[in-house]
Structure 1
Amino acid sequence: MTNILLTGSSRGIGAAIAQVLSASDGVRLIGHGTASGIPADFSDPAGPRQLWDKALAELGTIDVVINNAGVFEDNPIDRSDDDWVAGWERTMRINLTASAELCRFAVRHWQERQSGGRIVNVASRAAYRGDSPNHWHYAASKAGMVAMTKSIARGYAAQGILAFAVCPGFTMTGMAEDYLASRGGDKLLADIPLGRVADPEEVANAVAYLATSAPPSMTGAVIDVNGASYVR
């Protein structure tokens, strides 16, 4: 049995990941932020530890951590200094710092057990391509997540601890629908060679593969799911 902790499982990509993994044989899944999962506020510095401790108490051991929780909020540069910094720090806290804490808890857990484990971090094409002038903080948080993933992969592979990242482009969630509508959907779609945004299930299938069956030699890999709107 593979015990998996998934953050941000209440909607969008996270809900699709939960659905795919719940249908998999040999998986026990605990979600975060759902009616049947564990509530935790990642804007609160105490949130990640509370989530980890509750999930570990329920599962006994955790074999896979999937960091999917995140926010995408405007932070224009003409805000007051205090408001701009607060917006920056809120996004970093939720998108990057909370994920880093859960990665750290997981690595230490696996070291204590002398067992391997897997981390899958859901980042964004913004990690490589950047984002809008109102979203410096979002792009920076996702670039940090990719760099963290690679550092974990390189640092702990010899202990059987594997780390992967998935970088979606626009995905048809409520967040993406609002963004597309506010910025002229046709123009943005013209920038995607595939001609459409990704379905959440497409991203979820990539995440599930990395979480359960990707070969160990793939550790450190970053998988793009963006319709060729950014290629590396």
Structure 2
Amino acid sequence: MSDTHILLTGSSRGIGAAIATALKERSVRLIGHGTRSGVPADFTDPAAPQALWRTALDTLDGRIDVLVNNAGIFEATPLDIEHDDWVASWERTMRVNLTASAELCRLAVRHWQAEGRPGRIVNIASRAAYRGDSPAHWHYAASKAGMVAMTKTIARGYAGRGILAFAICPGFTMTGMAEDYVESRGGPKLLADIPLGRVADPAEVAEVARFCALDAPPSMTGAVLDVNGASYVR
């Protein structure tokens, strides 16, 4: 896909930055979003996803071919905190990790329907969608499970019009966020649960995302791809 126009969320660090690097190696025009670089948008603000989409569409001459939803947060919320605080954290995580992605998916599908053109969605979910996560991360696991279900629904609903959707489920990945978590969970003990013996490198996840965004055959639509060192197999 030459001169492919791509919107990538959460592109300023970690997996998102690695995806941006992988995509830029190909003939694409990329708009990145992030808190440190790219087009700024705070997904805790309900107006932000639509504003980001409009900015990206204007910048890319009115055409977006691929949407990669990578932005997300991973914040511990212990069960024993005040009830209102727990609910607020749940809703913040759902809005950033799932609702913002859903809004962008809707805008993308509607864009492709209106233009009568195919398009691709790549959603970066998590192993937690299937395996679950720690007792302090109910919301994170639930948001990623929702992303997987949403991806499958989009794939089934719009494949006939050339609109494809893929989900990627990384396990622990050596980003700053993951490093803190690995250390907090005992480091070597956690790594012992990964048959590969190490966490994934962001470039490994990025290569899968690049493939889905540009090269995966249409019959793969609806696929959920694991990148977790066999720490969870389905």
- Tell me, yes or no, whether TM beats 0.5: yes
Q: CA deviation at 1:118?
A: 0.1
Shift of 1:37: 1.7
Structure 2 equivalent of residue 47 of structure 1: 48
Distance 1:37 1:112 in 2: 27
Correspondences of 1:123-138 after superposition (within 5 Å): 123-138=125-140
Per the alignment, residue 163 of structure 1 pairs with 165
Give 2:93's aligned residue.
91
4+ aligned runs moved over 4 Å, structure 1: none
SS of the residue corresponding to residue 162 of structure 1 reads: strand
In the TM superposition, what whole-angstrom CA distance separates every residue of 1:169-223 from its partner, at most 9, and x where no partner exists? 0000000100011111001000000000000000000000000000000000000
For residue 182 of structure 1, what is the aligned residue in structure 2?
184
| Contact 2:11 2:37 survives alignment (8 Å) | no
Tell me the distance in 1 between the aligned counterparts of 2:212 and 2:35: 23
Distance, in Å, in 1 between the alignment partners of 2:134 and 2:200 is 19
The alignment yields a C-alpha RMSD, in angstroms, of 0.8
Residue number in structure 2 paired with 1:33: 34
The one-letter code sitting in structure 1 at the alignment partner of 2:51 is: Q
**How far apart, in 2, do the equivalents of 1:181 and 1:133 lie?**
17
Unaligned runs of 5+ in 2: none
State the shift of 1:98 in Å.
Answer: 0.1
Q: Amino acid of the residue matched to residue 194 of structure 2? A: I
CA distance in 2, matches of 1:73, 1:152: 28
Q: CA deviation at 1:81?
A: 1.1
- Name the SS of the counterpart of 1:128 in structure 2: helix
Question: Aligned partners of 1:190, 1:37: CA distance in 2, in Å?
Answer: 37
- How far the C-alpha of 1:16 sits from its partner, in A, is 0.2
CA offset digits 1:103-131 (Å, max 9, x no partner)? 00000000000001000000000000000
Structure 1, gaps ≥5 residues long: none
Deviation, 1:85, is 0.3
Equivalent residue for 2:110, pick from 105, 108, 111: 108
Q: How many residues align?
A: 231
TM-score normalised over the length of structure 1 = 0.98
Q: State how far apart, in whole Å, the 1-side matches of 2:56 and 2:38 are.
A: 9
